[in-house]
C-alpha cells in the first residue's frame, strides 16, 4: 500500500523543530504580556460571510484562496484565512468593548489559504498577532509597532528587518484619491494585467500593490495619497512618525504600500526581512477603524498586525540564532522491577523542582539505558537497582565529569539543589 503523505502545502512540525516554535511562542507571550495584551483563541472555522464581508470580496484571500464548504445544514463555512475578522467578531459577540476601554489582545494559531506553495508560503501556516480595540490615536499605532519591533529584536532578527509605513487615509481622503488614481491610470489601462483591470473597477488602490515591473514603472508618477490626506490624516501620520523616532525605530515611508485587505484605514505597515528571499514579508498590519461597525458592532477604532511564524523561524535560523533541542538534566535508570514506583515518584519530585527528568519505560538493561542517557546528552543519571532499594540509596553519576556517588533517597532533592547552585 502507498504510504500516506501530508497534503500539499502543509507541514509537520517535527520534534527537532517544535522547541524553536515554543521559544518563539514564549517570546510572543512575554512581550505581549509586558504591554498588557491578553491572549484570545477563536475557532478554526467561521461562517464564510464573516470573511467575505470583513476582509473584502475583491481581495485575493476571499476571491481565490479560501477553503470553503457547505455544511450539512446548508451553511457556508470557511477555514479561517486570517484572524482579525474572527477576533473582531468575537469582540462584538462577547461585548468585550464593555469590559475594558481598550481591549488589548494577542493570538497565535494556524490559518489556511489555497496559495501556490513555495518556500515561506504554505496552505496551512501559522501567525501570531495583536489587536487593540478602542483608541483612534497614533500612540496606539506606535504601541502596536513597538510590540512588533520588540518581538523581532528578542528573536534576533531585527537587524535584517526594515519597516515600511504609509497612511492610506480615512474614507473621506480615499474618495478623492481613488478618483485621481483612476484618472491617471485610464490612459494606460490596456497596458495593465487582467487582475489590475479588474481592480481598477472594484478597488483601484490595490493596483499599487502590483508585482509587475511594467505596471510599477507606469505607476511611478501616479498621484500620491498624502496629497489627499485630510488635516486629521496628516496630523495622525506626523504624530506616528515622531513617536517612532522617539522609540528609535527606523522606518521608510512607502506611498505605494496599501496592503491586501479591504478593512485598513490610515496607518498601514509592514516589516520585511532581507534574509528571506522572495517571500520577504515578516509581518504586516494596520488600522481598521471601520471594521467593528461594518461587522455589526458599535463604532470602535482598532489597529493590529499579523506575523508569519514559519517566516520568523526561517529568519531566525538564517540569523544563526540557534535554539537547542531539549536536553535532560537527569536520566533515571531503574534496573529492578520493584524499584519502578520509587523511580516514578522521585522523578516527579525532581520535575516539580524544575529539573528535566527522563525515566525509562522499556525495562531495558542498565547498559542500554546508559547508552540512551549519553545519546540524549543528559547531564546526570540516577541508578536504582536491587541493592539501592534495600539500602534506601541511589547511585548518582555525573556524565559530564564521569564521577559517581551514593546518595540517600530522602536527600535526593537537596543533593540536586546543592549540585546546581
Ligand atoms: P497577511 O495576513 O496576508 O497580511 O500576512 C501576514 C503575514 O503572514 C505575512 O507577512 C507572512 O509573514 C505570513 N503569511 C501570509 N501568507 C502566508 C502563507 N501562505 N504561508 C506562510 N506565511 C504566510
CB contact at 8 A, 148 and 271: yes
**CA 289 – CA 134 distance, rounded (Å):** 9
Nearest to 11 by CA among 115, 117, 82, 83: 117
Spatial strand order in the sheet of 330-334: 357-359, 330-334, 380-384, 393-398, 403-408
Nearest to 205 by CA among 219, 187, 191: 219
Task: Find the 308 Cα to ligand 1 centroid distance in Å.
Answer: 5
Question: Crossing angle for the helix pair 309-318 and 15-34, nearest 10 degrees?
Answer: 110
pTM: 0.84
Task: Find the 114 Cα to ligand 1 centroid distance in Å.
Answer: 12
Task: Find the 134 Cα to ligand 1 centroid distance in Å.
Answer: 25
284 lines ligand 1 (CB under 6 A): yes
Strands 103-112 and 76-79: unpaired
Per-residue pLDDT band at 188 (split at 50, 70, 90): very high
Q: What is the mean pLDDT of residues 251-279?
A: 90
The atom number, within ligand 1, closest to the CA of 113 reads: 19
Task: Find the 401 Cα to ligand 1 centroid distance in Å.
Answer: 48
Q: What is the pLDDT of residues 321-351, one digit of tens each?
A: 555 567 899 999 999 999 999 999 999 999 9
The atom number, within ligand 1, closest to the CA of 82 reads: 2
Query: Is pLDDT above 70 for 21?
Result: yes
The residue contributing the CA closest to ligand 1 atom 20 is 121
The residue contributing the CA closest to ligand 1 atom 18 is 121
- How many CA atoms lie less than 13 Å away from 274 in the CB half-sphere? 6
Per-residue pLDDT band at 155 (split at 50, 70, 90): very high
| Confidence at residue 291, expressed as pLDDT on a 0 to 100 scale | 95
Query: Is pLDDT above 90 for 278?
Result: no
- Mutation choice for ligand 1 from 8, 127, 312, 313, CB with most ligand atoms inside 8 A: 127
**CA 369 – CA 387 distance, rounded (Å):** 18
User: Which grid coordinates are listed for 223?
Assistant: 498621484
Lowest mean pLDDT among 19-23, 59-63, 70-74: 59-63
Kindly state the DSSP code that residue 95 receives in the 8-state scheme: T
Average pLDDT, the chain: 93
310 lines ligand 1 (CB under 6 A): yes
Task: Find the 223 Cα to ligand 1 centroid distance in Å.
Answer: 28
Cα-to-chain-centroid distance, residue 119: 17
The residue contributing the CA closest to ligand 1 atom 12 is 308
Amino acid at each position: 500500500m502507498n504510504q500516506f503523505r501530508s497534503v500539499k502545502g502543509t507541514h509537520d512540525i517535527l520534534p527537532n523543530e517544535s522547541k524553536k516554535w515554543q521559544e518563539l511562542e514564549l517570546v510572543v507571550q512575554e512581550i505581549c504580556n509586558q504591554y498588557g495584551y491578553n491572549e484570545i483563541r477563536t475557532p478554526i472555522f467561521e461562517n464564510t460571510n464573516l470573511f467575505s464581508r470583513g476582509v473584502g470580496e475583491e481581495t485575493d484571500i476571499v476571491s481565490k484562496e479560501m477553503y470553503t464548504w457547505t455544511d450539512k445544514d446548508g451553511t457556508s463555512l470557511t477555514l479561517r484565512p486570517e484572524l482579525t475578522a474572527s477576533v473582531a467578531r468575537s469582540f462584538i459577540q462577547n461585548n468585550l468593548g464593555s469590559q475594558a476601554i481598550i481591549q488589548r489582545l494577542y493570538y497565535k494559531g494556524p490559518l489556511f489559504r489555497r496559495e501556490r506553495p513555495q518556500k515561506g508560503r504554505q496552505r496551512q501556516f501559522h501567525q501570531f498577532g495583536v489587536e487593540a480595540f478602542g483608541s483612534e490615536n497614533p500612540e496606539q499605532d506606535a504601541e502596536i509597532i513597538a510590540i512588533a519591533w520588540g518581538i523581532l529584536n528578542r528573536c534576533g532578527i531585527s537587524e535584517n528587518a526594515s519597516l515600511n509605513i504609509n497612511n492610506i487615509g480615512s474614507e473621506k481622503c480615499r474618495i478623492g484619491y481613488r478618483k485621481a488614481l483612476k484618472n491617471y491610470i485610464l490612459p494606460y489601462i490596456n497596458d495593465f494585467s487582467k487582475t489590475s483591470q479588474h481592480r481598477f473597477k472594484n478597488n483601484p488602490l490595490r493596483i499599487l500593490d502590483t508585482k509587475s515591473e511594467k505596471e510599477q514603472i507606469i505607476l511611478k508618477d501616479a498621484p500620491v495619497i498624502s496629497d489627499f490626506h485630510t488635516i486629521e490624516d496628516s496630523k495622525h501620520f506626523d504624530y506616528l512618525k515622531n513617536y517612532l523616532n522617539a522609540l528609535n525605530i527606523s522606518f521608510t515611508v512607502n506611498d505605494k504600500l496599501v496592503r491586501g485587505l479591504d478593512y485598513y484605514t490610515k496607518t498601514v505597515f509592514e516589516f520585511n526581512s532581507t534574509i528571506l528571499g522572495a517571500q520577504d514579508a515578516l509581518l504586516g498590519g494596520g488600522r481598521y477603524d471601520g471594521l467593528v461597525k461594518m461587522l455589526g458592532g458599535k463604532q470602535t477604532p482598532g489597529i493590529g498586525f499579523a506575523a508569519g511564524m514559519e517566516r520568523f523561524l526561517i529568519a531566525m535560523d538564517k540569523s544563526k540564532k540557534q535554539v537547542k533541542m531539549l536536553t535532560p538534566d537527569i536520566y533515571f535508570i531503574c534496573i529492578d522491577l520493584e524499584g519502578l514506583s520509587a523511580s516514578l515518584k522521585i522523578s516527579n519530585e525532581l520535575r516539580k523542582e524544575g529539573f528535566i527528568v527522563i525515566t525509562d519505560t522499556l525495562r531495558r538493561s542498565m547498559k542500554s539505558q546508559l547508552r540512551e542517557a549519553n545519546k540524549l546528552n543528559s547531564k546526570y543519571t540516577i541508578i536504582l537497582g536491587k541493592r539501592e532499594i534495600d539500602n534506601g540509596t541511589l547511585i548518582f553519576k555525573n556524565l559530564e565529569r564521569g564521577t559517581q556517588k551514593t546518595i540517600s533517597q530522602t536527600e535526593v532533592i537537596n543533593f540536586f539543589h546543592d549540585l546546581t547552585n
